[in-house]
Amino acid sequence: MTDFAFGPGRRDALLIATGAYDDRTLSTLRSPGQDCASLAGVLADPGIGGFRTEQLKDAQAHQVMRAVERFFMNRSRDDLLLLHISCHGIKDDDGHLYFAARDTDRDLPASTAVPAAFLRERMERCRARTVVVLLDCCYSGAFLPGAKGDDQVHVRDELGGHGRAVLTATNRIEYAWEGEHIELKGPQPSPFTGVLVEGLRTGAADLDGDGRITVTELYEYVYETLHRAGVRQRPQMWVDLEYQVTVAQAVGAPEPVEPEAPLTQPTVSPRGQKGRDVFVRLELTLVETTRGAVKGVAVERRILCSTCHGLGGRTVEECGSCHGSGSGRGNLGQHPPNCLACDGTGWGLGPPCSECAGNGWLDTVSTLTVEIPAGVESGTHIQLADEGDDSADGGPPGDLYIDVVELPHPVYQRVGDDLHRSLTIPAVTARAGGTVELKTLDGRRTLRIAPGTHEGQTLLLPGFGAPRSGAFGRGDIVVHVAIRD
């Protein structure tokens, strides 16, 4: 391994991971805890990152803000600071970005979440000239085409500045097909952080083979690896640095090569490349997402032709005109004359495969039966392993991702596990009290109106909302009262 000094300043990393939330409208995230531990391991390794690391998991907003403020205090100009945040990202009505903490109320982000503006202010007041920010946040589906949420998260405007590099990605809840049932996956790295850790751990992110992994190389490695794997998220990067920042040294790197030496590309597994992942959009009604359903899904796939095994059938065969001799009725003056059919070679290409017309591939459409779990949310994708396109060189097939899109309901609006609706009642009922019948997804139910109910008051039908994903119980029906004279 090439042994070199990283620089005169300190190398510190703060890793913030929030996967559990008190607010039921913020879905539990599986990956932040493992992301935090895995990244901390490679960053702290003296042979890789050489960082002093601090981890903060499932903390409240004031604890996160305290840790961030302390992290950026009393720094020298030569320090290199790395901040990794893995959590839900939310935006207010004005488009401002916040990072959700365990006690965040989605309706009160300014007082219960961590404002990106606070993070930017702390960085601006910090004396360290180099700050690297890694955001592996779920912006309610931002950056993922077709997912719910606003896809215009202006992270550069929120966090950009001189001496900073910001790399961003996104997460969503995932389900996996397990045998005959569909279940929530156990903890595992997110695609973004998982690839990032692997690039640092193996040294594969050292794209030019000089023994150092820079911020730019790390971004390019993560982007290209996710792209080749068919993952639809597209990491983004904004950089305003005076020089190349070395995040880590490459494990097992050779001595630095001369500038004219060819660049070293990431190592390729001797096993064939995985086939392309296939994505299918599945529209479901509110009843289907809350109760669960069994749906037939039409899937377009590319498979290798079983007749020619992907070769197209153009095999080398003995020439049918000269029977392999190469001789025949050739041009005048040739002794012996060449066969015109094979130009004297004695061989030719056989006919193309009749099954695939010589393409080697077949475009197929098949219908798969998929079990949709009760309580699934819009924006969720369901993964069916090995149901994507075949590999071209003997690798495993790709996976199938079914993107769930919940259609609007004429009465109810879903917010997390709760179902919201408006209800207009006569003024006399509001003053004196009474009961009204509500049509719920479970049939008609009676709602009690207390005397003195006022305009804008909310009433609850507990336990008649959507099932809680990965947990017991159901959300509530929340009724917003309007009063007419």
Are 449 and 429 in contact by the 8 Å Cβ rule? The answer is yes
Residue showing tokens 């008190």: 22
**Pairwise CA distance, residues 459 & 475, whole Å:** 14
Closest listed residue to residue 188, CA positions, set 204, 171, 205? 171
Distance, in Å, from the CA atom of 314 to the CA atom of 348, rounded to the nearest integer, reads: 9
Are 389 and 447 a contacting pair, CB within 8 Å? no
- Tell me what pLDDT residue 4 has: 46
Say how far apart CA 121 and CA 129 lie, in whole Å. 14
Kindly tell me the sign of the dihedral angle through the C-alpha atoms of 106, 112, 116, 117. Answer: positive
Length of the chain: 485
Tokens of 17: 């991971």
pLDDT at 34: 83
Whether this prediction's pTM lies above 0.85 is answered by no
pLDDT of residue 263: 33
Query: Residue 281: beta bridge partners?
Result: 403
Give the per-residue pLDDT at 245.
Answer: 79
Q: Name residue 241's amino acid.
A: L
The neighbouring-strand residues paired with 299 are 366
Write out residues in the chain with pLDDT < 50, as ranges: 1-4, 140-154, 156, 171-184, 253-271, 330-331
DSSP secondary structure string for all residues of 234-303: --EEEEE-SS--EEEEPTT--SPPPTTSPPPPPP--SSPPPPPPEEEEEEE-HHHHHH-EEEEEEEEEEE
| The pLDDT of residue 340 | 76
Q: What is the rounded CA–CA span in Å between residue 444 and residue 461?
A: 12
Give the residue from 171, 146, 147, 157 showing the smallest Cα distance to 88: 171
Q: Which two tokens stand for residue 243?
A: 């020089």
Per DSSP, what are the bridge partners of residue 237?
Answer: 167
* Nearest of 55, 58, 64, 54 to residue 118 by alpha carbon: 64
For the CA atoms of 82, 84, 89, 93, the dihedral, rounded to the nearest 10 degrees, stands at -10
Q: Which of 482, 481, 434 lies closest to 460 in space, CA to CA? A: 481
Nearest to 284 by CA among 174, 399, 175, 402: 402
**What is the 3-state composition of the chain as percent helix, strand, coil, each rounded to the nearest 5?**
15, 30, 50
Residue (of 387, 190, 376, 183) closest to 282 by Cα position: 376
CA distance 146 to 21: 25
Residue 17 to residue 209: CA distance in whole angstroms: 32
For residue 296, list its beta bridge partners: 369
Instruction: Report residue 18 as tokens.
Output: 């929030």
Q: How far is CA 340 from CA 186, 240, 330, 335, 350, in A?
A: 66, 66, 6, 14, 16
> Looking at residue 242, what is its pLDDT?
52
Cα gap 418→410, rounded to integer Å: 16
Tokens matching residue 219: 């971004």
Q: Which two tokens stand for residue 95?
A: 């488009």
